[in-house]
Amino acid sequence: MKHIFSMIKLQAVALLSFFAISSTVLAEMPAQPQPIWSNPLDNVDGATITKDSRRDPNTYCVNCHGHLSTFKHTGKHFQKDTVSPNNGKPLNCVSCHGNISENHRKGVKDVMRFNAHGKAKNPALERSVEEQNQVCFACHSPDKLREKFWAHDTHANKIACVNCHKLHPEKEPMKGIESKQRVKLCVDCHTEVHKGTFKKAEAKDQK
């Protein structure tokens, strides 16, 4: 009888030891990577997302980047009927900004940011002009741009597209740049080239 109890005790001790060791090993193992939306029904504020919004991948980005939601349906890049000329699939935020990892909120460096050269909030995360423009050129062929506006030929490799173009326009659809705005864009960068010329012309007109 004592032998049976001893066997039971040994089995119990072995079982408890197994669970203790397993718990320790699991606790020390690094957490397995999870998709950024491990619970797609909850947004950053804890509110419930509707089924309709789950069909729109941009919704997840707008939950945090809420300032974009006010003009979500004006920019061409946000239109649901806008598709990539490369694969025919609808555009969404990651089409241009790259794959977003679970650590995105910590400011991961692999997210493509579009900034006018030298104006990034965090210079360490600024992408080069070439890197930024290559994303644009993936859909916007340089040949087509050259046909519409000669300046693309001169500036495409020197300044970022966002120096002149708004990717997320608040009021106007993405139609390129109005003719009357083109001169202003030139003067914004080239003011020193003809410094004083415009003032003389204005003074002559006033007489």
The per-residue pLDDT for range 170-203, each reduced to its tens digit, is 655 445 566 677 777 777 777 766 555 544 444 4
Residue 141 inside a domain? The answer is yes
**Between residues 15 and 89, the one the model is more confident about:** 89
In a domain? residue 77: yes
Q: Record the pTM.
A: 0.53
Question: Is 146 a domain residue?
Answer: yes
Range of the structural domain that residue 172 is part of: 51-176
Mean pLDDT of the chain: 63
Q: How confident is the model at residue 110 (pLDDT cuts 50, 70, 90)?
A: low
pLDDT computed for residue 41 by the predictor: 37
Rounded Cα distance between 96 and 57, Å, is 13
Q: What is the reported pLDDT for 118? A: 62
**Does 95 reside within a domain?**
yes
* pLDDT confidence of residue 57: 67
Q: Report the amino acid identity of residue 51.
A: K
Amino acid at position 135, single letter: V
119 within some domain = yes
Q: What is the pLDDT of residues 123-154, one digit of tens each?
A: 666 778 888 888 888 887 767 666 666 566 66
More reliable by pLDDT, 141 or 93:
93
Residue matched to tokens 């598709």: 83
- Please tell me which residue, 96 or 8, carries the higher pLDDT value: 96
Arithmetic mean of pLDDT, 79-84: 76
Domain membership flag for residue 43: no
Instruction: Using CB atoms within 10 Å of the CB of residue 34, give its burial: 0 to 12 exposed, 13 to 18 middle, 19+ buried.
Output: exposed
Token readout for 6 is 């001893």
Evaluate whether residue 194 is within a structural domain: no
In angstroms, the CA 57 to CA 25 distance is 37
Q: Which two tokens stand for residue 130?
A: 């070439």
Residue 48, amino acid: T
- Tell me, yes or no, whether 182 lies in a domain: no
Domain count for the chain, please give it: 1
Give the list of residues 6+ apart from residue 44 with CB closer than 8 angstroms, or none: 63, 64
63/66: higher pLDDT: 63
3-state SS assignment for residue 67: helix
